[in-house]
Structure 1
Amino acid sequence: MSALNRKLLRDLWAMAGQVLAIALVLAAGMAMWVMYLSNFQSLQRSQQSYYENQRFADVFASLKRAPGSLADRIADIPGVVRAETRVVADVVLDVPGLQEPASGRLISVPADRRPALNDLYLREGRWISPGRPDEVLASEAFTQAHGFHVGDRFAAIINGRKRTLDIVGIVLSPEYVYSIRPGELVPDDRLFGVFWMERRALANAFDMEGGFNDVVLKLAPQAQPDDVIARLDTLLERYGGLGAIPRALQPSHWTLESELQQLRSMGIAVPAIFLLVTAFVLNVALSRALALQRPQLAALKALGYRNDELAWHYLKWALAIATLGALLGVAAGAWLGAGMTDLYAQYFSFPQTDYRVSPGVVLGAIAVSLLTAMAGAYSSVRRSVRIPPAEAMRPEPPARYRRSIIEQPGLRQRLGMAMRMILRNLERQPLRALASITGIAFAAGILLFGFSLIASTERLISLQFSVAERQDVTVNFVEPASSSAHHALARLPGVLAVEPQRTVPARLRAGFRHRDLAITGLSPDARLRRIVDMDGKAVALPPDGLVLSTMLARVLDVVPGDRVALEVLQGHRPQLEATVAALVDDSLGLSAYMDIDAVRRMMREGGTLSGAAMKIDLAQEQALSQVLKSLPSIAGVAIKRTVIENFRETMSQNIGLMITINVLFAGIIAFGVIYNAARVSLSERSRELASLRVLGFTLAEISLILLGELVILTAVALPFGAVLGHGMAQAMVKSIESEVYRFPLATTPATIAWSALVVIAAATVSGLIVRRRLDRLDLVGVLKTRE
């Protein structure tokens, strides 16, 4: 080992505390890098393998009913490689031990072969047998939620008849990697399950013999999905087609792709903050280390070492810290990534999630760490090695001090001696103070960003379930019902109020842009289901025209006053132009609203309703649930209490992990920055503090001088951290804004207080550690001078 390398090891050991603090800040950033990017790659790898093995379809379409002979014409569409027709039906389930009515989706599969598209992955049990109409394959998520196994049974209301179904196999489907009941915010595997039944048995139960109401397509690689969808819609129009969609808009795939993109974005954006702070801290620490080693640097030059050799020697100081930080970060990121994969496995159903940290992610973490260290150390190393040896032999000339603003007579008497010393030192080291303030502000900002997500989630829940939706129960019918259904619902046990709703599937077009969605018809004076914006203000429904969500208007590129083409995909399928009467900046989905009477006029019908919002006596909730389970006309029931509980549980698991990581890593930033600032200050002012001790100052008084500087830096950084955190939260809320949900930004005094408390706690810990070194200050050794 060379002399310079031995010197490097001694220097690093002598500054072990600072080395570890800086390495931990860098490790936090690299842990985030590895955690997010390794999960992105693992999920993407699992998705691609799963889709390929199970032959996931490219186009999906639902319709009312079409004859089986139409399948050949669909298969002949240019660009279609394979077409698979199916029977699909939504039913109400009666699950033993479950108070609320659950919903199920029945999908037909051949009994004598595997599906050509969207094949199932058989996890347990066997395939269904021909001629056994009550056998089903159940989705794994539903069986796990209820503790079901092969051989268990449950009841379903199938076309008005209650039937007992036997689970003969437990399966996974690429079509339901993310399984969610239509209209819900988050998955609830207790209340929604997917089941596959023999084609003939399901067709017979719903009068679909010789027909189908669902079709999926596999396209050739060079085929244009839009052209195929246009031709398919033309074929299905006369059979009640509800509009075909490409794979990109298929709910499960869309949700998974959105999560993948968010993981990749987070894996780049968040570590960048930690790398920036690391570069600041490294620059300050190395600048002070080189200042203290000024005589050694001169001696090494006098002994013949070249500038490039010495520059490389001190750059290795930074690179050694970066290597340590990168290795710690990779190890921590791999551990956290495995835990995050387990969390994703609760929401995304893959046959297996092949989690591993790829060499590319590891090498990328190490390379980025080394580049950050080089960037942070370059300027200080370059400045130091360029000093001529003769000049470096002499002690560094003292700074030229002049009277500052705090030395003015009017202010001087108001400040104590300790405060004047603190402020004077900060004024004379503005860049170092700014670097410390920046690092602490970033720590506070990251914390505020995390706590703001919690507050935003609570705000979303409040807006959606207390302001917009004030009903207790929502029911949807299998088919649109007459006005008598309104009165029938009002007579059910515990029902206090009923508000009808009429939804119709439609396609909205504006130029070449379009979206398929449900237009919701509400009463203008509705009190249970209202249209509200992000501020909680109710939006009145006009007698004519559409009220669109701001996100939908952005997708269609329309503004109030514009006209859009409206193609209804139900009933006699009217086509007309409608005026965009108003926009509402809501928080969920792509929404289009109309006056319920306008919807009925458009559909040429009387008091028809497709569902209703109900206010109930909560004491009779159980009795009402039992009745709703037995009604064959009910397709789905949503109890708000259960929806809120499920939403909170899902958000707490996801955001809870993020908050834990944020608090831990932001605390590391705060500790690393403040500890480094304190150690640099102690090394610079050790002679000054020792002199004060010799002159009779107590340990508490000199501690106040040193640690008071940290208090001021932290106090100044916290307001900047609040502004920075608010900006980060605003940017994050904007970046995760999607067609599914938009979070209302909520930066509350409580979130600011919590972020400040965590930073103060980290500052206190680092201050106590530095105080222990101050207790062991060698007065004689420090006061020795080189004259």
Structure 2
Amino acid sequence: MVSPLNRKLLRDLWRIKGQATAIGVVIGVGVMLLVMMTGLTASLTETRDAYYDRYRLADIFAPASRAPERLTTRLAAIPGVAAVQSRVQGRALIDIPGQVLPVQAQAVSLPDRGRPAINDVYLTDGRLPASGRPDEILLLQSFALAHGLHPGDQLNATMNGARRSFDVVGLAQSPEFLYTTAPGELIPDDARFGVIWMSRSGLAAAYDMNGAFNEVLLSLTRGANLEATLTAVDRLLDPYGGFGAYARADQTSNRFVTEEISGLVAAAIGVPPIFLLVAAFLLYIVIGRIVQSERGQIGLMKAFGYTDGELGAHYSKLILAIALGGALAGCLAGIAAGRALVGVYTDYFKFPFLVFQLEPSSFLLGIAVSLLAASAGGFMVLRQVFGLLPAAAMRPPTPPDFSRAGHLSGALGRILDQPSRMVLRRITRQPGRMAASMLGIALGMALSVAMITIYAGFDRTIDLSFSVVDRSDVRVGFTHPVSTKTLFELDRLPGVVRVEATRTVPAVMSNGLHTYRGGLIGIPAGAELSRAIDRELEPILLPPRGVVLSSALARILDVEIGDVLDVDVREGRQPVLQLAVAGIAETLLGSPAFMSLEGMNRALGDTRRVSGAYLMIDQAYADDIYMALQNMPTVAGVSLKSQARDAFVTLMNTGAGAIRYVMGAIAFIITFGIVYNAARIAYAERARDLASLRVIGFTRAETAFVLLGELAVVTLVALPVGAVLGYYLSFGIAAGFSTDLYQIPAIFDGPSHGQAALVVMAAAIVSGLLVKRDLDRSDLIEVLKTRE
């Protein structure tokens, strides 16, 4: 049998169904994000680890110029090394029918017999190349699908300056290439970069590596000392042009996968509490109104013998029912959202399989945190229940002191009409309640401001990277550092307007315990096509000796202007340089370090050497220029800035970047829920007064104005407060979206704040219309019978 208090509980839930739904949505959103992000984190982590283990991704990668095969025996003897596999790899250019510009690719060798012991491939279609068939190759599946290539097709590619024809016999994926980018680039694009696997003997012949290798892979035993092994490998490879062994953690593909997972973890920790705190605040307001309006009922129930514990349990059930309903809905929504985003990550990271993993702890944590947040919001209200004596509770509450508003009302009395004066008196006589409603709406405004500002931050990253920093049309990469006379050959091509040299060398930069493996980028003095710029978007004059770091890299290394970095160059003579930090560049793409090209060549002992060039061209000659570049033997790759920009936009609209749209939609929903809740609370508090106005002759429009005018004033006051809160909130959200690949700035953007204000005002208008509908439909006699 249902007890009287439980029947009252059901009636109360039905009576405040609008507010309860709005609060439940806020709680549900927080739980949904927690379940979704926790599940995606578990899915990516478990799939990555299983993929790496099943296909034996190397623990150590060690490139070299040319090392003899016999060296593998000595490498295998290093303590802690479980397996060693040497291989040949190099850069290639693939001819695509119908495209003038060749596509860059990486060629990787496979054993002539059997499967690789380390870095095995996952065959998705076709078969492996047959032994003794150097013309048979595997293609990276994503690249093949982007160009409509299948097993049985033929492919022409240029390797080491020689043009060759190959038969595609299979398509493959690899844990080594979950995130694929062309050398010297950060943006993945399936159509602009591919991977070719072919037999070791065939690739060795193409790159003059018979009896030698230019990369060795190592697997370690459990408990092996990684740093000691890296040092031993470097010592053995140094005489053969070793470029510096590095661990799996520094491998490009793995680094970006790990960065994505870390971003999801940070978001799962930082974002859901925001929504749960808002929900706790709303519960405090709603339950507080209910307790205040039911003073008489509480006193009567106490007089009939109900204890403080029984009444506290009753209102606790009301709070927990709203929280539990929102949490359960959030769990279901989190599962649906996680499964939807799994497909995005499968395409983004080229996993052969990725199943959304339900993480039971996230359900328990989400429900537990929701209930705790709801309880915290209602605890202060429940104290009022315990403190009410029956006799005091059944008396009307002490009338508020309205004397503070008399002067203001009198001053404006001659200007305002009667309904406007009623709105003004309500606001000035109950500032506490108005401040609470204003703060709730301001929080909704802050969420909208932060998310719309993030949209503007993404756009700023694109504009700054591809319009201000890089003002070229084409970037050319060379097979090896060449003399500057190659630049004159490029400059003589018809249609080339300007040529600027660049040189990139791999390096490990250190500041105490802070280390970053990246590259030094040398650009000439007075560069115009690719520049280092400061916060005011002015070019930075590079000193003859010193380094200018991007702001992201400066944070990673924890350095400021004037500090000295240890730079271990991993090319040529491999000197270790001590370079002073001469400036901080406002670069939002990657984490580069800039140096004067002349100073770099002088420090490396190589004069007049370049590894690439930026070109500004006349588009009328574009096809002729591309054809000429393709026929130059020293050109290893050509990248168009327009294609790189399109690829970057695609990148930011997938993966973690796509979540910003989800969170933007959520911010709008939450904003509407908060504003609607404020309107419903105001209506519930004043229903009897509004009915009285109707009885004494006020029209429906005038009565609605008395109610909605209050909402309008509170909303307008909340807009600037929400704008300030949103500005600071955007810093935290921008940091969550930023990665090593790109940084999203938190900026003050006037249009973004204007759009957020329009969102809040639209929510206020819709909420006002819904409440006005209820006001017009209300039964005046029934409302007047209600004793507040």
For the superposition of Structure 1 and Structure 2, which TM-score range results when normalised by the shorter chain?
Answer: over 0.9
Partner of 1:756: 757
Query: Per the alignment, do residues 528 and 740 of structure 1 end up closer, same or farther by CA in structure 2, a change over 3 Å counting?
Result: same
Q: Distance in 2 between matches of 1:38 and 1:680?
A: 36
Residues 88 and 200 of structure 2 are in contact (CA less than 8 Å); yes or no, is this contact kept in structure 1? yes
Query: Per the alignment, do residues 546 and 321 of structure 1 end up closer, same or farther by CA in structure 2, a change over 3 Å counting?
Result: closer
1:5 equivalenced with 2:6 (yes/no): yes
Deviation (angstroms), 1:162: 1.3
Deviation (angstroms), 1:393: 2.8
Q: How does 1:672-751 map to 2 (within 5 A)?
A: 672-751=673-752
Residues 122 and 174 of structure 2 are in contact (CA less than 8 Å); yes or no, is this contact kept in structure 1? yes
AA of the residue aligned to 1:545: G
Q: Distance in 2 between matches of 1:716 and 1:330?
A: 35
Partner of 2:485: 484
Partner of 2:151: 150
3-state SS in 1 of match to 2:591: coil
Q: Distance in 2 between matches of 1:773 and 1:51?
A: 60
Partner of 2:458: 457
Alpha-carbon RMSD: 2.3
Partner of 1:773: 774
* Deviation by residue 1:463-485 (Cα, 9 ceiling, x = unmatched): 22222211110101102222331
AA of the residue aligned to 1:698: T
Deviation (angstroms), 1:311: 0.9
Partner of 1:245: 246
Q: Distance in 2 between matches of 1:44 and 1:290?
A: 48
3-state SS in 1 of match to 2:403: coil
Deviation (angstroms), 1:699: 0.9
Residues 504 and 568 of structure 1 are in contact (CA less than 8 Å); yes or no, is this contact kept in structure 2? yes
AA of the residue aligned to 1:725: G
Partner of 1:25: 26
Partner of 2:620: 619
Partner of 1:267: 268
* Deviation by residue 1:599-625 (Cα, 9 ceiling, x = unmatched): 333444443322111110112222322
TM normalised by structure 2 equals 0.95
Q: Distance in 1 between matches of 2:657 and 2:261?
A: 19
Partner of 1:419: 420
Query: Per the alignment, do residues 580 and 739 of structure 1 end up closer, same or farther by CA in structure 2, a change over 3 Å counting?
Result: same
* Deviation by residue 1:443-493 (Cα, 9 ceiling, x = unmatched): 222222222122112222222222221111010110222233112212334
Q: How does 1:642-681 map to 2 (within 5 A)?
A: 642-653=643-654, 657-681=658-682
AA of the residue aligned to 2:746: L
Partner of 2:88: 87
Residues 498 and 615 of structure 1 are in contact (CA less than 8 Å); yes or no, is this contact kept in structure 2? yes
* Deviation by residue 1:270-316 (Cα, 9 ceiling, x = unmatched): 11111111111111111222223333323322332221111111111
Residues 240 and 569 of structure 1 are in contact (CA less than 8 Å); yes or no, is this contact kept in structure 2? no
Q: How does 1:281-320 map to 2 (within 5 A)?
A: 281-320=282-321
Q: Distance in 2 between matches of 1:500 and 1:18?
A: 64
* Deviation by residue 1:383-417 (Cα, 9 ceiling, x = unmatched): 12431222223333433432426536434434443
- Which stretch of structure 1 is more off in the superposition, 664-673 or 20-29? 664-673
* Deviation by residue 1:675-702 (Cα, 9 ceiling, x = unmatched): 2222222222122212222222111111
1:232 equivalenced with 2:233 (yes/no): yes
Partner of 1:182: 183
- Which stretch of structure 1 is more off in the superposition, 718-727 or 383-392? 383-392
Partner of 1:355: 356
Residues 157 and 632 of structure 1 are in contact (CA less than 8 Å); yes or no, is this contact kept in structure 2? no
Deviation (angstroms), 1:655: 7.3
Q: How does 1:430-579 map to 2 (within 5 A)?
A: 430-511=431-512, 514-579=515-580
Residues 550 and 584 of structure 1 are in contact (CA less than 8 Å); yes or no, is this contact kept in structure 2? yes
Q: Distance in 2 between matches of 1:261 and 1:571?
A: 35
Q: Distance in 1 between matches of 2:563 and 2:303?
A: 80
AA of the residue aligned to 1:617: D
AA of the residue aligned to 1:350: F
1:128 equivalenced with 2:129 (yes/no): yes
Deviation (angstroms), 1:221: 2.4
Q: Distance in 2 between matches of 1:97 and 1:246?
A: 40
Q: Distance in 2 between matches of 1:786 and 1:179?
A: 70
Query: Per the alignment, do residues 403 and 568 of structure 1 end up closer, same or farther by CA in structure 2, a change over 3 Å counting?
Result: closer
Q: Distance in 1 between matches of 2:707 and 2:8?
A: 29
Q: Distance in 2 between matches of 1:352 and 1:358?
A: 18
Deviation (angstroms), 1:335: 1.5
Deviation (angstroms), 1:554: 4.5
Percent identity of the aligned residues? 42
1:368 equivalenced with 2:369 (yes/no): yes
3-state SS in 2 of match to 1:351: coil
Residues 470 and 527 of structure 1 are in contact (CA less than 8 Å); yes or no, is this contact kept in structure 2? yes
Partner of 1:637: 638
AA of the residue aligned to 1:517: G
AA of the residue aligned to 2:34: W
Residues 453 and 655 of structure 1 are in contact (CA less than 8 Å); yes or no, is this contact kept in structure 2? no
Deviation (angstroms), 1:10: 1.9
Residues 475 and 611 of structure 1 are in contact (CA less than 8 Å); yes or no, is this contact kept in structure 2? yes
Deviation (angstroms), 1:736: 4.6
Q: Distance in 2 between matches of 1:55 and 1:712?
A: 64
Q: Distance in 2 between matches of 1:503 and 1:555?
A: 20
Partner of 2:40: 39
Deviation (angstroms), 1:520: 2.4
Residues 652 and 658 of structure 2 are in contact (CA less than 8 Å); yes or no, is this contact kept in structure 1? no
Residues 534 and 744 of structure 1 are in contact (CA less than 8 Å); yes or no, is this contact kept in structure 2? no
Residues 455 and 747 of structure 1 are in contact (CA less than 8 Å); yes or no, is this contact kept in structure 2? no
Query: Per the alignment, do residues 303 and 46 of structure 1 end up closer, same or farther by CA in structure 2, a change over 3 Å counting?
Result: same
Q: How does 1:369-388 map to 2 (within 5 A)?
A: 369-388=370-389
Q: Distance in 1 between matches of 2:563 and 2:763?
A: 55
Deviation (angstroms), 1:111: 3.2
AA of the residue aligned to 1:186: I
AA of the residue aligned to 2:70: S
- Which stretch of structure 1 is more off in the superposition, 651-660 or 164-173? 651-660
In the TM superposition, structure 1's runs of 4+ consecutive aligned residues that sit over 6 Å from their partners are none
* Deviation by residue 1:27-82 (Cα, 9 ceiling, x = unmatched): 12222222211111111111111111111221112111100111111111222222
Query: Per the alignment, do residues 564 and 8 of structure 1 end up closer, same or farther by CA in structure 2, a change over 3 Å counting?
Result: closer
Partner of 2:107: 106
3-state SS in 2 of match to 1:521: strand
AA of the residue aligned to 1:766: S
AA of the residue aligned to 2:640: I
Partner of 1:218: 219
3-state SS in 2 of match to 1:178: coil
3-state SS in 2 of match to 1:129: coil
Deviation (angstroms), 1:716: 1.4
Deviation (angstroms), 1:738: 4.5
Q: How does 1:185-196 map to 2 (within 5 A)?
A: 185-196=186-197
Between Structure 1 and Structure 2, how many residues are aligned?
A: 787
- Which stretch of structure 1 is more off in the superposition, 363-372 or 548-557? 548-557
Residues 308 and 385 of structure 2 are in contact (CA less than 8 Å); yes or no, is this contact kept in structure 1? no
Residues 273 and 442 of structure 1 are in contact (CA less than 8 Å); yes or no, is this contact kept in structure 2? no
Query: Per the alignment, do residues 406 and 118 of structure 1 end up closer, same or farther by CA in structure 2, a change over 3 Å counting?
Result: farther
* Runs (5+) with no aligned partner, structure 2: none
Partner of 1:594: 595
- Which stretch of structure 1 is more off in the superposition, 139-148 or 547-556? 547-556
- Which stretch of structure 1 is more off in the superposition, 52-61 or 730-739? 730-739
Q: Distance in 1 between matches of 2:508 and 2:681?
A: 66
* Deviation by residue 1:298-350 (Cα, 9 ceiling, x = unmatched): 33223322211111111111111112111221222222222221211221121
Residues 22 and 278 of structure 1 are in contact (CA less than 8 Å); yes or no, is this contact kept in structure 2? yes
Q: Distance in 2 between matches of 1:131 and 1:406?
A: 99
3-state SS in 1 of match to 2:653: helix
- Which stretch of structure 1 is more off in the superposition, 622-631 or 44-53? 622-631
Residues 442 and 724 of structure 1 are in contact (CA less than 8 Å); yes or no, is this contact kept in structure 2? yes
AA of the residue aligned to 1:205: A
- Which stretch of structure 1 is more off in the superposition, 451-460 or 269-278? 451-460
